[in-house]
Amino acid sequence: MDELTVPIQARRLFELGCGNDSVAYELTRRSWDITSVNPSAEGIQQARAAHPKLKLDRDSAYDDLAVQHGQFPVVLSVEVMKHVYAPRRYARTVFELRDTGGTAIISAPIHG
């Protein structure tokens, strides 16, 4: 993430599908302001227990997240695609969350 050309004062990132929020925790240590969501109540509970200072909400890609949280220079979604049942809605949410000219980073596992 340090390679992204985002000025330090604009280092805001939205994490769509945070799991236990270990990624967000590491990024906050690198001066990123993170907002994270996950649809799992258990996942949010575990993330809050491990990282009580992080901004976490129980939301999903099917909620109107840009209205709720605004837009961000960076949207991150790690290992979420395998759980998505409406991929076009998911993609639209990522697009809506991303500032104009912003970056979306999406990873998906590849199984051979």
Give the separation between CA 60 and CA 50, rounded to whole angstroms: 21
pLDDT of residue 34: 93
Q: Which of 68, 70, 67, 71 is nearest to 57 (CA)?
A: 68
User: What does pTM read for this prediction?
Assistant: 0.88
Give the homologous superfamily in CATH for domain 10-107: Vaccinia Virus protein VP39 (3.40.50.150)
CB atoms within 10 A of CB 4: 13
The residue ranges of every structural domain in the chain are: 10-107
Give the separation between CA 99 and CA 6, rounded to whole angstroms: 12
DSSP letter, residue 104: E
pLDDT of the chain along its 112 residues, tens only? 556 666 677 789 999 998 888 888 898 888 899 999 999 999 889 888 988 888 999 999 999 999 999 999 999 999 888 888 999 999 999 999 999 989 999 998 776 6
Give the separation between CA 68 and CA 43, rounded to whole angstroms: 20
